[in-house]
Structure 1
Amino acid sequence: MSLASLAHPRQDFSYGFLDAFAKRELRRRMLKAIAIPGFQVPYASRELPIARGWGTGGLQVTLSIVSPTDTLKVIDQGADDSVNAANLRRFIARMTSVATTTDTLAATVIQSRHRVPEERLREGQVLVLQVPDPEPLRQVQPDSSRAREMHADADYAQMWLTLYEQLVRFGRFMQGASYPVLVHGRYLMSPSPIPRWDTPALHQAAHLTLLSAGREKRLYAVPPYTDVRPIEFEDVFFQVENMAGRICMLTGARNKFMDELPVAEGGSQFRLSDTGYAAKLLRRARGDAATLGATYFDDEGHFYQPGVIRAE
């Protein structure tokens, strides 16, 4: 027996980049967040080889839960090929040896910046959302200590007053991305700066959603099959963005979330925001094999759960 045979094999870095203590702490915080849906749990956000504000919160969560048997998908504003998505995917794959994909149906862990994929997520999948500002009350209460007291008392009157003022001044809700939602009938939550189009997708979803803000050192979660209701009045309902009449310039798809692209001659063209879904539509149009999953909104623009969007 030699000393070398008793020693651990050489490791140039810890699996998943983060040390074992950091990953253990993050997993414990995630368990608490899952146990109290919508509640912001503080954690010790670690330094990473990317700047804060570029997805460090979501990256730490992903590195803590991903395993070599997982399949990873990373998107930025719906795109798999953006600089941010490509760099995060390359880094995670290098640190964990995880397989990667652009297919939502094939992924077990999906890290996203500001979008939920068009295809419905299923049980066993985990959606990790990057969050720049986890506090939904910041616009009405900049004092974080007072905001935490308001969460403890479920005192959200100032947020309701803000919505009322928007209706009086503009005739409609002006809150765009990051529309505040009430989770499990208790905590007001910011669902990351996802568009209003994606907000209903969190309601009674089959998948687990983990949201993390590395700069603010806060994470929170929406467990599977949990109520996530956008705040609205009894006579003025929450509405998603109007995509009626918009046709994808590449695939011809309708009633899906589109990116608007200005053209030199004036006017605009539209393109599917979810590039992975668009690629599958193009493959199917060419006659190639492509498995399309059910989407949150059908081709007529109706949400798959009747009654969730009461404005329909």
Structure 2
Amino acid sequence: MQPQTHFALFDEGSKKEIRRAILKAVAIPGYQVPFASREMPIARGWGTGGLQITLSIIGKQDVLKVIDQGADESVNAVNIKKLVHKTTGVATTIETSEATIIQSRHRIPEVPLTEKQIMVLQVPIPEPLRWVEPSEYKTKKLHAENDYSGAWLLLFEQIMKYGKTATNADHPVLVHDRYVMAPSPIPRFDNAKMHQSDSLILLGAGREKKIYAVPPYTNVTSLAFEDHPFEVESFDGKHCHLCHATNVFMDELVNQETGEAYYQCNDTSYCLANLNEQGREVEVEVEHAR
């Protein structure tokens, strides 16, 4: 006989402990809550924090979507989806609007999320002050004292060196006018999607053993100086070469024959949905997926 596995892999005691950490994180927006990160059948650094959150909150009626850098078809996304499905039997989808739980690495979908959805982000480094202070004890003290001069200094040094902030991803944000938070390595383009979001956003770092959250309808502001306002990646004048979408985050690709650059929606399911609406069938390249 095969040994019986628990629903969603974890025993109920483990799921309750992680849910308690989630509840505390929701109650204190942007605050990093320590939790007993479990051993997982995937390596740390491959999304164990987000996966532990998903396995602890998922129910039999949920519909799961997993994306990796905008793609549903990448190795990481496919295998996480298979693991959750195998241990729960829940339905899976690539349609953002159909999902009740969306687990993601490096992106927030282009389709606006709703109050009936939960966004779970995988986080490698949850501490926004880690680049200026290696001591965990000291960063906790700085958060308690509301001292974020180190984060501001880092941005100031970038402006002095490059003439602008050089955070291509994971640009720090101020949550609920209190905690400075690492939004996970999402592009700057996605930071605004956290502000006053209809959905609950949960962030998990398995290797660092931290869970934090942005509750619905919470103010989230990207750190910026008055004379150097926050700017997102610009795609002005660009459009997806497949679905012709504009005002979305796109990948720059290169035609191997001509050497010319062209653009494509980073969110592959969004691109496919647009193509279906247009009655067109085209194979979408997943150049950005790993």
**Of the candidates 143, 157, 162, which is equivalent to residue 165 of structure 1?**
157
Off by >4 Å, runs of 4+ in structure 1: none
Q: Provide the residue aligned with 2:276 in structure 1.
A: 283
* Pairwise CA distance, 1:284: 0.8
Distance in 1, matches of 2:158 and 2:15, equals: 42
**Of the candidates 178, 182, 186, which is equivalent to residue 174 of structure 2?**
182
CA distances 1:81-139 after superposition (whole Å, capped 9, x unpaired): 11110111111011111111111111100000010000100112100000000000011
* Pairwise CA distance, 1:262: 2.1
* Pairwise CA distance, 1:245: 2.1
The yes-or-no answer on 1:110 pairing with 2:73 is no
Distance in 1, matches of 2:147 and 2:106, equals: 27
Kindly report which structure 2 residues correspond to 1:58-207, keeping only aligned pairs within 5 A, or say none.
58-207=50-199
DSSP 3-state at the match of 1:212:
strand
Q: Provide the residue aligned with 1:6 in structure 2.
A: none
DSSP 3-state at the match of 2:84:
helix
Unaligned 5+ runs, structure 2: 282-290
DSSP 3-state at the match of 1:160:
helix
* Pairwise CA distance, 1:11: 6.5
Change (3 A) 1:287 1:267: closer
Distance in 2, matches of 1:139 and 1:241, equals: 23
Distance in 2, matches of 1:57 and 1:169, equals: 34
Q: Provide the residue aligned with 2:286 in structure 1.
A: none
CA distances 1:162-199 after superposition (whole Å, capped 9, x unpaired): 21222222111111100000000000100000000001
Q: Provide the residue aligned with 1:267 in structure 2.
A: 260
Deviates more, 1:246-255 or 1:67-76: 246-255
Deviates more, 1:168-177 or 1:111-120: 168-177
**TM-score in terms of structure 1 length:** 0.87
**Of the candidates 14, 28, 33, which is equivalent to residue 20 of structure 2?**
28
CA RMSD of aligned residues (A): 1.3
Distance in 1, matches of 2:150 and 2:15, equals: 37
**RCO greater where, 1 or 2, for CA within 8 Å and sep 6 or more?**
2
Equivalent pairs counted in the alignment come to: 279
* Pairwise CA distance, 1:201: 0.3
Q: Provide the residue aligned with 1:229 in structure 2.
A: 221
Q: Provide the residue aligned with 1:307 in structure 2.
A: none
Amino acid across the alignment from 2:279: R
Identity %: 52
Change (3 A) 1:50 1:256: same
DSSP 3-state at the match of 1:197:
helix
Distance in 2, matches of 1:46 and 1:164, equals: 38
Amino acid across the alignment from 2:272: A
Q: Provide the residue aligned with 1:293 in structure 2.
A: none
